[in-house]
């Protein structure tokens, strides 16, 4: 039996794998782009299924599509939404810049399955990928809509929960060690004391800021280009299609979508996805800083800072027995680097909007969705496998704080900066306790020195009295 079958399109015949659900246009694109082997992910394919299902239902409601055809398009689209046919989405990311090949991949799969489902019900339908599944649509509004729908859903389902988990983990871990005072650092050099609650609270606020920034972009990201068709004018679609499509998509997904305020802007640019990517990058910078801070605090433990103990979750060396490395933090740092690179790609792609269409839509979709997913996953992983399990080396930390000559800063209002500097330098040079040197060089009593040099009081701000 032949392993292929013959399919036809407007350019003629083409051989397609016998069991493939797609047709000639998909096969041509598959042949034309043997570039990377990278395909659209589950989120994007699900969004395509949602779009085709929603479009069919709205077109039937508007009297533009036979209800029975719309019904079977909906059933076939549901299979795409559920991931049943992911293996048949075979087009490389590096393809036609409009994503037309992937749009037709979806159209052909859904038409094929709609006909099979109808046949199994004893009905003789001829669902066409262009005339029916793609009715009232163009790749030029469908792919930009798929980018936005998939990104909005992924942000709600993956990104925001991951960040919320990490934000809470740092806040709770800070409370656990609220009474532990450690040496603050600026320029990697000893500075005034802070508590773990203050430091970890700062991390929690950074994550919350990242979450809020990305959430703020959803107002614009949730505007859907669908209804603009080829160039934004809405040619060959019902005038109410865009509005009704967005309303129905909101009902189906539970996420609030609306029709694009200006279809020409929404199709000619990827400004909204680029804005979201930029805020994802901002959070990636925060994540990288946090991961590196944890690595520094965990360093040693015998010949480093050794302030905290990260959980020993796997061997760290193939040659050094007993060595354990901060692998979760390193993983998070690499995710941050990837996201920063993804944003650079999206930035270049965002400049590639020629007249009425951006022509780097597939690479925008891939990089944006990858950034959303890996940041959400890395944040959750950092919380679960690292932050929740952190232990503090309190005895070591307390000893370091008490020996820190920089504590003399608290005496500035009493003895002045110059004398304070002299005390600090003498204490450091002679490796002596700051209090002993201060007692020699000032008229302050033991009681006063204990009061002014209390590290915990220094973490509360203001003047010590």
Is residue 399 within 8 Å of 184, Cβ to Cβ?
Answer: no
Q: How far is CA 449 from CA 126, 415, 440, in A?
A: 91, 12, 11
Is residue 420 within 8 Å of 192, Cβ to Cβ?
Answer: no
Burial annotation 432-456 (CB, 10 A radius, 16+ → b, else e): eebbebbbeebebeeeebeebbbbe
Helix 42-61 with 67-82: angle, nearest 10 deg? 170
Point out the residues that are catalytic: 187, 317
Please report, to the nearest 10 degrees, the dihedral formed by the alpha carbons of residues 416, 417, 419, 422 taken in order. Answer: 170
């Amino acid at each position: 039996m032949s392993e292929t079958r013959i399919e036809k399109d407007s350019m003629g015949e083409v051989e397609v794998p016998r069991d493939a659900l797609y047709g000639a246009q998909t096969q041509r694109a598959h042949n034309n782009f043997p570039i990377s082997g990278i395909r659209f992910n589950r989120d994007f394919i699900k969004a395509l299924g949602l779009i085709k299902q929603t479009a069919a239902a709205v077109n039937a409601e508007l009297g533009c599509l036979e209800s029975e055809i719309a019904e079977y398009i909906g059933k076939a689209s549901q299979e795409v939404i559920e991931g049943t046919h992911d293996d048949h989405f075979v087009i490389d990311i590096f393809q036609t810049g409009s994503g037309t090949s992937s749009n037709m991949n979806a159209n052909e799969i859904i038409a094929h399955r709609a006909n099979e489902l109808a046949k199994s019900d004893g009905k003789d339908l001829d669902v066409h990928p262009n005339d029916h599944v793609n009715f009232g649509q163009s790749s030029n509004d469908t792919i930009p809509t798929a980018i936005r729908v998939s990104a909005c859903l992924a942000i709600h389902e993956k990104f925001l929960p991951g960040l919320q988990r990490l934000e809470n983990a740092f806040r709770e871990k800070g409370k656990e060690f609220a009474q532990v005072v450690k040496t603050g650092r600026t320029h990697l050099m000893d500075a005034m004391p802070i508590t773990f609650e203050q430091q970890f609270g700062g991390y929690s606020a950074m994550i919350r800021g990242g979450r809020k920034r990305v959430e703020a972009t959803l107002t614009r990201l949730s505007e859907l280009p669908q209804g603009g068709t080829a160039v934004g004018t809405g040619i060959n679609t019902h005038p109410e299609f865009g509005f009704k499509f967005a309303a129905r998509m909101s009902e189906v997904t539970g996420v609030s979508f609306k029709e694009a305020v200006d279809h020409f802007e929404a199709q000619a640019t990827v400004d909204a996805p680029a804005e979201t990517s930029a805020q994802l990058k901002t959070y990636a910078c925060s994540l990288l800083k946090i991961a590196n801070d944890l690595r520094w605090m965990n360093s040693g433990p015998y010949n480093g800072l050794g302030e905290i103990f990260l959980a020993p979750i796997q061997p760290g060396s193939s040659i050094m027995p007993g060595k354990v490395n901060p692998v979760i933090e390193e993983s998070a740092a690499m995710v941050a680097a990837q996201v920063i690179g993804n944003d650079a790609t999206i930035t270049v792609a965002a400049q590639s909007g020629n007249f009425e269409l951006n022509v780097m839509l597939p690479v925008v979709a891939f990089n944006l969705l990858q950034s959303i997913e890996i940041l959400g996953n890395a944040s959750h992983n950092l919380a679960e496998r690292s932050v929740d399990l952190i232990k503090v080396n309190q005895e070591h930390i307390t000893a370091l704080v008490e020996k820190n000559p920089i504590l003399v800063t608290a005496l500035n209002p009493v003895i002045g900066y110059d004398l304070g500097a002299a005390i600090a330098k003498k204490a450091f040079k002679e490796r002596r306790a700051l209090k002993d040197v201060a007692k020699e060089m000032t008229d302050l009593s033991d009681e006063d020195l204990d009061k002014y040099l209390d590290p915990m009081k220094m973490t509360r701000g203001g003047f010590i009295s």
